[in-house]
Amino acid sequence: MSEELSPGVDPGSPDLFPDGDYRFHLTLRRGDPRAFFAPQDPTGRVLAERARWLASEPHRYAALMPEGEPLVREFGAMVASWKLGASTGGRMPLAHARGHELLFTLGRSLEPDILLLSPDREGVIWLRGGALCFPTGWALEEKMGRSMEVIHGVVPGLNAALGPAIQQVLSKLKPGVAFLRDNWGLAATDELNLHPARAVPPPAAPVALDRLWLRVEHQALVALPQAAGLVFGIRIALHRLDRIAGTAAAAGLRRGLATMPAEVAAYKRLDGIRARVIELL
């Protein structure tokens, strides 16, 4: 896999490392849904890898509950209306395809991962399905059919800081807009697929900047108004740390690492290396 995926995305963007000490934030930018999901990898390697994971272990990398059927249909129709056809290898979603078939087609045709969510009668938002080939250390099968609060429950302090705000934002997405945000972490590999079953080791001492990657999750929230739900897209970008040393991104990363609460650093598997990374950057 290439060392600099999505080279057009600037890791020095102030949105990734906002001014100030580390904190969970809910800053959303407005974007174009088509632009987020449109192909960005001219080599075709991302789609080839997605197809490989989806074929080798379909139940691990894709899942759909009955409540997800209308969501995948609406998202499939939305993608078809974007006419990305030729650039996605012509694998366009078929209007008549069954939900699972449509989900797999979308999972193989789009570079970002996709997760489908909708509220219950009380307004609580649940994960109803998705095609997730490049998770950052989590398993779709464990999160399926769970609420946002339960899904985020493992992230220390997140529900307390932002739980109600996240619920509010997800319930009130304006149609036709992609609401964009980013998460970052460090990985000791440029592998895209960090499913827990692969047991990819966390960053560890001794630290070398050319063996560590800034792993950015570019995320998009897009309303599915007919089905009263939403799609959550995640696109991974990797930046090898020796290549960003000395840049604005490195300054933001140093500050983020230095001010991150210990329990968050432990959750992000950074506690063993963060002091040394700060020294080296």
Question: Given the rule CB under 6 A, which residues bind ligand HEM?
Answer: 24, 26, 115, 117, 127, 137-138, 143, 151-152, 154-155, 158, 162, 166, 169, 181, 183, 185, 232, 268
- Minimum distance, C-beta of residue 260 to ligand HEM, in the bound complex (Å): 9
- Measured between alpha carbons, how far is 148 from 146 in angstroms, rounded to an integer? 7
Extract the tokens encoding 9. Answer: 């995305």
Q: Which is nearer to ligand HEM, 9 or 161 (CB)?
A: 161
Q: Which stretches of the chain are assigned E, i.e. beta strand? A: 29-31, 62-64, 113-119, 125-131, 178-187, 213-224, 229-240
- Minimum distance, C-beta of residue 96 to ligand HEM, in the bound complex (Å): 28
Cα 81 from chain centroid (whole Å): 23
Q: Which is nearer to ligand HEM, 48 or 154 (CB)?
A: 154
Q: Which is nearer to ligand HEM, 78 or 187 (CB)?
A: 187
Burial zone of 87 (CB within 10 Å; 0-12 exposed, 13-18 middle, 19+ buried): middle
- Minimum distance, C-beta of residue 94 to ligand HEM, in the bound complex (Å): 26
165 φ, ψ (degrees, to nearest 5):
-65, -40
Q: Which is nearer to ligand HEM, 158 or 248 (CB)?
A: 158
- Minimum distance, C-beta of residue 218 to ligand HEM, in the bound complex (Å): 13
Q: Which is nearer to ligand HEM, 5 or 173 (CB)?
A: 173
- Minimum distance, C-beta of residue 92 to ligand HEM, in the bound complex (Å): 25
Q: Which is nearer to ligand HEM, 24 or 82 (CB)?
A: 24
The vertex-102 CA angle with 182 and 171, nearest 5°, equals 45
**Strand pairing partners for 179?**
30, 221
- Minimum distance, C-beta of residue 170 to ligand HEM, in the bound complex (Å): 6
- Measured between alpha carbons, how far is 90 from 114 in angstroms, rounded to an integer? 19
Residue in 230, 178, 234, 222 with CA at minimum distance from that of residue 67: 230
